[in-house]
Structure 1
Amino acid sequence: MNFEYSAKVVDLLNRVEAFMEEHVYPQEQAYYDFVNDQNNLWQEWPVMEELKVKARAQGLWNLFLPHEYGAFSPGLSNLEYAPLAEAMGRVPWSSQVFNCSAPDTGNMEVLAKFGSPAQQEQWLKPLLNGEIRSAYVMTEPQVASSDATNLELSIIPDGDEYVINGRKWWISNAMHPRCEIMIVMGKTDFNAPRHAQHSQILVPRNTPGVRVVRHMTVFGSTNSPGGEVELVFENARVPKENLILGEGRGFEIAQGRLGPGRIHHCMRSIGQAQRALEHMARRADSRVAFGRKLAEQSSIRQDVAKSFCEVEMARLLTLKAADAMDRYGNKQAKDLIAAIKVVAPTMAQTVSDRAIQVHGGMGVCDDTPVAYFFTLNRYVRITDGPEEVHMSQLGKQKIAEYVASNRR
């Protein structure tokens, strides 16, 4: 196995890091000051569009989209994208600058892989151009949505339309001022076999009958301008041509979407953990307690050493998972995708927690990014399926695999 990045990836990584140094890090605090001001609730930070124009002009655009999508893609593999996503993840909002932010990335992959030519023309192209944003509407409040067969929102045919009724929550991006399209998962046939009941359909954000019930906070934050909301669909009608792929294909689409989405989260989590580790080391070297630098305390050195080991292990597992996706496909790589979804956010939360401790009181405020990294990765441990579900499926798969093996 070659542990060196290719010349193409090294060049792109150098350019992403240079862009971050020149345009993103200097604006990091200005972004948070704007979005945390309640007077700016649900408004886009004005500088975002300027940065997007600059990134696109430098060819740092849509880097996430795998090479198999032809003209839609810049030609990178999952393995090649991994270090780029890690670099972007060091400042969580910066992925949008490069048009590589969730949930748009997953929605673009769905439309690129499963969308009709008309759907791609109407919705994929403006998403690829960064002109609009989108939401993915799956989780429901009344059922345990970690088992997606529980989803109850109905998508019922009526003439040339589908009529949608139900309630959803934790819908990211639905409040973003540029959000114009949502991909909604629900049931089209309540009597079909368990995994053939669900479908996914495109619902424009301004569709009559789609209503925001409430804004939801995450650890006290509104996460403006995207944010998370609870939505209700009350006889919302969309044309039949808005159905993606066909009735009963919802799980097929979901699996095609969530595999790459999960590993992208992990790539970004590793970037946050790496940055937290660097902050921890610098803080330890700059502070003196009881006559010695913190960096000279054995317990602090152990925290730095353990964190380095854990970041490196998670990074290598992520790269292995990305490589398996490229070589064998997402379905064959599902064990490694599940493993890294369990490992990476927990690791990033742990490393961030150690960084908080080394910073003392400074660690729990927003003078550094480590507190945000801690809460963000606690959240990521639930997004795209809680870690318990991934561990259950991974354990089941590995038990069957090892039982069937004749190795001694």
Structure 2
Amino acid sequence: MTEPDVASSDANNISLSVRDDGDNWVINGTKWWSTAAMRPDCKVALVMGVTDPDAAIGKRHSIILVPFDAAGLTLVRSLTVFGFRDLHEGGHAEVRFENVTVPKENILGERGAGFSVAQARLGPGRIHHCMRLIGMAERAIAMMTARAKTRAPFGVLLADQGVVQTWVADARTQVNAARLLVLQAAWRMDVEGNKAARHDIAAAKIMVPQVVKDVTDRAMQVFGGAGVSSDTMLSVLYAQARFLQIADGPDEVHRRSLARAEFASAPLIRVI
């Protein structure tokens, strides 16, 4: 979905051209942050583009299946996050489409229904990110506590110093709260469906990366210089948490939708 030349947080801005050419679609444009595109076993791209530029907002885009060996498709590069590459997971690639031609039947779903198809993945994808982030936070806490038990600056173990105890206590409190928010969103998805759970998912997507970033930052402080080096996983965990404040919708977009829902709903408590 994401494109380098437009504000892709508003999916209506997606501008890659998918031109109707009789029995084929002809695709032109550039995407980036395309998940898993660098995997050798990734054979087909799901590409969102404009098939109906004059249609109403929300009906202009479709998703087209494009084989990676199609003429005119170029994997430009694997992107990095703060210098880290995730090629072992398939990377996030910049992909160029130059007069890429595929058959008409390669459309996924109905013409103009690209948003609906994309949203079917984005909600579960966001909660999946949050679940993985909780695991990252637990790893950071485990690393922080283990380090604090073995390092003794000025003759006192870090684990016995009040400021470090505060960091650890706050980390546990934050992570447990974040986990419960994720569980609530997952429960609502199971019971009421993805659409009904969209605001719970948004709340989790806002809170969890921030919590993991805070916890990892304190763990880095406990580790000192080693914490900001590549000798530990902490810098990778921090980069992932920071990245996920943008990926699958930036925090600001989720805050906006959550606030609008709150203003539109009946308050739980009547104010007299």
Q: Which amino acid aligns with 1:247?
A: R
Aligned-partner Cα distance in 2 for 1:356–1:142: 35
Q: Which of the residues 140, 149, 154 maps onto 2:3?
A: 140
Q: Which of the residues 191, 194, 197 maps onto 2:54?
A: 191
The two structures have a TM-score, normalised by structure 1, of 0.64
Structure 2 match to 1:159? 22
- How far has the Cα of 1:278 moved from its partner? 1.0
Structure 1 match to 2:36? 173
Aligned-partner Cα distance in 1 for 2:220–2:143: 9
Structure 1 match to 2:256? 392
Structure 1 match to 2:236? 372
Aligned-partner Cα distance in 2 for 1:222–1:281: 28
- How far has the Cα of 1:227 moved from its partner? 2.2
Aligned-partner Cα distance in 1 for 2:85–2:151: 34
Q: Which of the residues 345, 362, 386 maps onto 2:226?
A: 362
Aligned-partner Cα distance in 1 for 2:237–2:205: 16
- Secondary structure, aligned partner of 1:286: coil
Structure 2 match to 1:305? 169
Please list the CA deviations of residues 59-114 of structure 1 after superposition, one character each: whole Å capped at 9, or x if unmatched: xxxxxxxxxxxxxxxxxxxxxxxxxxxxxxxxxxxxxxxxxxxxxxxxxxxxxxxx
Q: Which amino acid aligns with 1:378?
A: R
Aligned-partner Cα distance in 2 for 1:308–1:406: 30
Q: Which amino acid aligns with 1:325?
A: M
RMSD between superposed Cα atoms in Å: 1.4
Q: Which of the residues 80, 84, 89 maps onto 1:217?
A: 80
Moved more, 234-243 or 191-200: 234-243
Please list the CA deviations of residues 332-365 of structure 1 after superposition, one character each: whole Å capped at 9, or x if unmatched: 1111000000011111111011111101111122
Q: Which amino acid aligns with 1:148?
A: A
- How far has the Cα of 1:192 moved from its partner? 0.4
Q: Which amino acid aligns with 1:222?
A: R
Q: Which amino acid aligns with 1:243?
A: I
Q: Is 2:112 aligned against 1:252? A: no
Structure 1 match to 2:160? 296
Aligned-partner Cα distance in 1 for 2:200–2:114: 23
Structure 2 match to 1:126? none
- Secondary structure, aligned partner of 2:85: coil
Structure 1 match to 2:247? 383
Aligned-partner Cα distance in 2 for 1:343–1:372: 19
- Secondary structure, aligned partner of 2:82: coil
Please list the CA deviations of residues 374-405 of structure 1 after superposition, one character each: whole Å capped at 9, or x if unmatched: 111111111100011000111111111147x7
Q: Verify the 8 A CA contact 2:84 2:236 in the aligned structure 1.
A: no
Q: Which amino acid aligns with 1:334?
A: R
- Secondary structure, aligned partner of 2:43: strand
Aligned-partner Cα distance in 1 for 2:148–2:237: 19
The two structures have a TM-score, normalised by structure 2, of 0.96
User: How many residue pairs align between the two structures?
Assistant: 270
Aligned-partner Cα distance in 2 for 1:170–1:261: 15
Moved more, 274-283 or 170-179: 170-179
Q: Is 2:227 aligned against 1:341? A: no
Q: Is 2:121 aligned against 1:282? A: no
Aligned-partner Cα distance in 1 for 2:269–2:103: 54
- How far has the Cα of 1:307 moved from its partner? 0.1
Structure 1 match to 2:95? 231
Q: 1:406 to 1:360 in 2, by over 3 A?
A: closer
Q: Identify, as 1 or 2, the structure richer in helix.
A: 1
Aligned-partner Cα distance in 2 for 1:318–1:406: 24
- How far has the Cα of 1:254 moved from its partner? 1.2
Q: Which amino acid aligns with 1:344?
A: V
Within-5 A mapping of 1:319-334: 319-334=183-198
Q: Which of the residues 114, 125, 133 maps onto 1:269?
A: 133
Sequence identity (%): 49
- How far has the Cα of 1:406 moved from its partner? 7.9
Q: Which amino acid aligns with 1:193?
A: A
- How far has the Cα of 1:190 moved from its partner? 0.1
Q: Runs of 5+ in structure 2 lacking a partner?
A: none
